[in-house]
């Protein structure tokens, strides 16, 4: 193989790795959960409440009511990727709007924090 051929093969491999890592769930980390907590307090707590119990001030008059994230089921599923997809799309016919304007990283952070709230903050990682 010529040197330029090797370089182009390496470049293709690197591009593939980048593409793969963008589509996979990022690994859960303390940083990601902390980022999710901060974002949750800004974007979600008004409706879902500080602890996720569905008792935020802005949520009281809504129909349907904001979900109790800790105790109630999720129609779109409980896997991080399913929560991520739900946040990106929103839920039709409700005030659970799309949060597509947030970065992908922030949506993953929120997804992990939602699961953390469900676990009652018991899991440390
Ligand atoms: C304006 C109020 C409001 C805000 C802000 C809001 N939600 Fe919701 N959320 C709702 C309502 C209402 C529902 C229930 C929708 C339904 O039952 O159809 C809901 C449902 C959900 C569900 C259940 C999804 C499912 O699959 O059933 C999750 C999880 C959730 N919200 C997380 C979040 C997160 C995370 C944020 C912040 C990024 C957020 N919500 C911001 C009102 C809100």
Please give the domain boundaries of the chain with CATH numbers for all domains: 27-118 (1.10.760.10)
Give yes or no for residue 113 CB within 6 A of ligand 1.
Answer: no
Query: How far, in Å, CA of 33 to CA of 95, rounded?
Result: 24
pLDDT digits (tens, 9 = 90+) for 45-83: 999 999 999 999 999 999 999 999 999 999 999 999 999
Q: What's residue 125's pLDDT?
A: 46
Assess whether pLDDT exceeds 90 at residue 100.
yes
Q: Take atom 34 of ligand 1 and give the residue whose Cα is closest.
A: 44
Pocket test for ligand 1, best of 38, 55, 67, 119 (most atoms within 8 A of CB): 67
Q: Is the CB of 95 under 6 A from ligand 1?
A: yes
């Amino acid at each position: 193989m010529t040197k330029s051929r090797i370089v182009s093969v390496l470049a293709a491999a690197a591009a593939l790795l980048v593409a793969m890592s963008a589509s996979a769930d990022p690994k859960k980390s303390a940083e990601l959960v902390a980022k999710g907590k901060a974002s949750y307090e800004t974007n979600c707590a008004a409706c879902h409440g500080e602890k996720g119990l569905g008792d935020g001030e802005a949520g009281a008059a809504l129909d349907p009511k904001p979900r109790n994230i800790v105790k109630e089921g999720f129609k779109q599923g409980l896997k991080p990727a399913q929560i991520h997809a739900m946040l990106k799309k929103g839920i039709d016919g409700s005030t659970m709007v799309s949060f597509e304007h947030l970065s992908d990283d922030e949506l993953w952070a929120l997804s992990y924090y939602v699961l953390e709230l469900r676990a009652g903050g018991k899991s440390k990682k």
